Structure 1
Amino acid sequence: MEKPFEYDKSRQPANSAFKQQKLPGHYLRLTATAVLSIFFTTGLFCLCVGIILILSAKSTKKIEVNYTKLCADCHELRDDASKFRKACTCSIPFNLPEKMKGNVYMYYKLYGFYQNLYRYVLSRSNAQLMSKNIMDVHGCDPFKMSEDKIPFIPCGAIANSMFNDTIILSYNLHSSEHIQVPMLKYGLTWWTDKYVKFQNPVSSNLADQFEGSAKPPSWSVPIYELDRDDPGNNGFLNEDFIVWMRTAAFPTFKKLYRRLSREHYFKEGLPAGNYSFNISYNFPVTRFQGEKSVVLSTLTWSGGDSLFLGLVYTVTGALTWLSAFAIMAVYLMLKNRKENLSL
């Protein structure tokens, strides 16, 4: 005869309000006044923030010089495979009508360059960039190894297509005197990129650590010679390289290239006057029917001159107010109908 089922009281939940689900229930009942107050307050907040952000973005100073057509001779030279290794420089004069006060930043801007393609974004080796295994070229197709089966460092399509124009800004102090504007090439990257995602091999001589590797096909120098003036700005920690490796979301984008060193004539920023860009033209754009520019810009507490965030807040606030008015109209209409029916 089977034994009757015995309940294991040791597993019985404690007789508490929480475990026995006896907590008091609360039903949220919002009145029309409370709902409308929330909508109007939220809309007002978004409108105020949006207007402040737009005014802040409008207060930035910016000048952009598109040098694709201005350097037409270099443009043709870079597309001629037989002359690919010949140097080509061009000088582009421009006028700065107003003084740029405070910190000034130089960007390069590309039009029509798709860094967001799926295979392009994946074409890199994070293990290599973090120096966990510098010979690891897994996932770097189609730029993994040279024809002699020597691994590329750095490998991948992103690294191979690195922007390599050299841009120097000159100031016409007098009609016959031109001085080079001092620009800083450090402090350009995100902290996490500089100190977490990119690391050099632990060695006093990078050339020895990268021995047995090849430079990417489109590079003119190996990675340990990217900056011959500053040994600390070489290898995977080169800031121009790190900035380029953070891929852009849209085909038209700009990346930070240099920062103004505020000294001598430029303590307060860039004075108004005549300037020129001296550009060493290396990065070809006709292959993808693109263009490139140099941008000088100031920043505010909210960032650069982009109106996107301000417009988002403004539109959100306006739609919230429209919704509030619509809710109020429906509420008044139903209230009046109820009062008429009760008469």
Structure 2
Amino acid sequence: MSSTTGPTSASADLTAPTTNSKRPKYSRFTQQELPACKPILTPIWVISAFLLVAIVFIPIGIVSLFASRDVVEIIDRYDTDCIPSDAQKDKVSFIQSNRDKTCNRTLLVPKHMKKPIYVYYQLDNFYQNHRRYVKSRSDQQLKDAKHADETTLCKPEDTAHGNPIVPCGLISWSLFNDTYSFSLNNQQLALNKKGISWKSDREHKFGKNVYPHNFQNNTLIGGAVLDTSLPLSEQEDLIVWMRTAALPTFRKLYGKIETDLQEGQSIQVTLQNNYNTYSFSGKKKLVLSTTSWIGGKNDFLGIAYLTVGGLCFGLAVVFGLIYLFKPRRLGDPSYLSWNRNPGGH
């Protein structure tokens, strides 16, 4: 019997349903056949890389460290000394009383300080990063007067006597209220308090049509009282304070002295010791500081660069000595475990 394999068989193959294949379309990208750089980390390359990092990092660390050491700082802790002797045993009662809290301090200039000289207040053991504290504010209210009633996030400082507080929240309520004035040779030193806050905060976070209202009007006063005739965008002490700190020890800019100070000069400081840090064992310090191209006085950046650079240099030396005294040929199969122990023992 003969079978025919003619046109009928061919037409059947054409009409047969084609099966869908899940095979992806071929391309050099999907098959990972594109040109690629596969560097081989030879001992020379590794040693050279460590040396390069050391050559770059060590000079940067030295320059950063010297720049930080050129910054002149005067730090004066006054929270204990500004309490009268008869109130040392109960500092909280004194700070909450109506007694005069004026305190006079004398600061000695250790080195020549070029203007501008930045005046900071430093607080220790103050946790501005506490979750409830950070959330107790209303950004909508701070930005636009139309949202003055939006105080739902500001508890417990949301309303007073049935009216909304502007600005509301624990952050603004606890605004730092110690004040400082400076004099040199019985002449008042001008303190510039303009431009101490971030420009972006003044222009975008605090409205020009938002004025303080019903602020510090509760039974318990937290801190400073705001000027009701100035919009929030011009009250820079508040703007600086409301940029909360990430750590419990922090500094905030109070103002700038636009006069050079010479070595050996004595600055008389008259301050009002109003802020209550005694109830939580906090500390208050007054800081006068110059700046350099790297910023304020901070040795960490220079030490970090020197540490990394020195570590890389040490590793380069160690690897270089190993490569010099115990070299091994690259890709030598005799170092494979099954070649070193062919019997499996």
Shorter-chain TM-score bucket reads 0.7 to 0.9
Q: Is the 8 A contact 2:106 2:268 kept in 1?
A: yes
Q: Is the 8 A contact 1:39 1:320 kept in 2?
A: yes
Which residue matches 1:200?
208
Equivalents in 1 of 2:54, 2:223: separation in Å? 55
Q: Is the 8 A contact 1:111 1:291 kept in 2?
A: yes
Which residue, 268, 271, 280 being the options, matches 2:262? 271
Q: Is the 8 A contact 2:216 2:222 kept in 1?
A: no
Q: Is the 8 A contact 2:127 2:248 kept in 1?
A: yes
1:273-288 residue pairs with structure 2 within 5 A?
Answer: 273-288=265-280
Deviations for 1:133-184, whole angstroms, at most 9, x for unmatched residues?
23211222332223x3322222222211111111001112xxxxx1110111
Equivalents in 2 of 1:108, 1:16: separation in Å? 64
Equivalents in 2 of 1:221, 1:292: separation in Å? 16
The gaps in structure 2 that reach 5 residues or longer are 1-14, 336-345
Which residue, 81, 84, 100 being the options, matches 1:73? 84
Which residue matches 1:175?
none
1:19-30 residue pairs with structure 2 within 5 A?
Answer: 21-30=32-41
- Residue 171 to residue 222, structure 1, CA distance change in 2 (3 Å): closer
Q: Is the 8 A contact 1:93 1:277 kept in 2?
A: yes
Q: Is the 8 A contact 2:95 2:274 kept in 1?
A: no
Are residue 188 (structure 1) and residue 201 (structure 2) matched? no
Q: Is the 8 A contact 2:62 2:306 kept in 1?
A: yes
1:222-233 residue pairs with structure 2 within 5 A?
Answer: 223-225=226-228, 231=230
- Residue 28 to residue 91, structure 1, CA distance change in 2 (3 Å): same
Report % sequence identity: 32
1:204-219 residue pairs with structure 2 within 5 A?
Answer: 206=211, 210=213, 215=217, 217-218=220-221
Which residue matches 2:71?
60
Deviations for 1:16-51, whole angstroms, at most 9, x for unmatched residues?
644665423432213211211111110221111111
Which entry has the higher C-alpha Rg, 1 or 2?
2
Which residue matches 1:314?
306
The size of the alignment, in residue pairs, is: 314
If the length of structure 1 is used for normalisation, what is the TM-score?
Answer: 0.79
If the length of structure 2 is used for normalisation, what is the TM-score?
Answer: 0.79
Which residue matches 1:113?
126
Which residue matches 2:59?
48
Aligned-residue RMSD, C-alpha: 3.3
Which residue matches 1:327?
319
Are residue 100 (structure 1) and residue 91 (structure 2) matched? no
Q: Is the 8 A contact 2:183 2:267 kept in 1?
A: yes
- Residue 305 to residue 220, structure 1, CA distance change in 2 (3 Å): closer
Are residue 84 (structure 1) and residue 97 (structure 2) matched? yes
Equivalents in 1 of 2:103, 2:115: separation in Å? 28
Aligned with 1:192: secondary structure? Answer: helix
Which residue, 157, 166, 169 being the options, matches 2:179? 166
Equivalents in 1 of 2:296, 2:17: separation in Å? 77
Equivalents in 1 of 2:194, 2:172: separation in Å? 19
Which amino acid in structure 2 is aligned with residue 242 of structure 1?
Answer: I
Which residue matches 2:149?
135
Equivalents in 1 of 2:326, 2:93: separation in Å? 75
Q: Is the 8 A contact 1:224 1:235 kept in 2?
A: no
Equivalents in 1 of 2:215, 2:111: separation in Å? 49
Deviates more, 1:153-162 or 1:298-307: 153-162
Q: Is the 8 A contact 2:175 2:223 kept in 1?
A: no
- Residue 25 to residue 337, structure 1, CA distance change in 2 (3 Å): closer
Q: Is the 8 A contact 1:165 1:279 kept in 2?
A: yes
Which residue, 31, 35, 39 being the options, matches 2:42? 31
- Residue 16 to residue 201, structure 1, CA distance change in 2 (3 Å): same
Q: Is the 8 A contact 2:64 2:294 kept in 1?
A: yes
Which residue matches 2:235?
238
Deviation (angstroms), 1:78: 7.1
- Residue 133 to residue 34, structure 1, CA distance change in 2 (3 Å): same
Deviation (angstroms), 1:276: 0.8
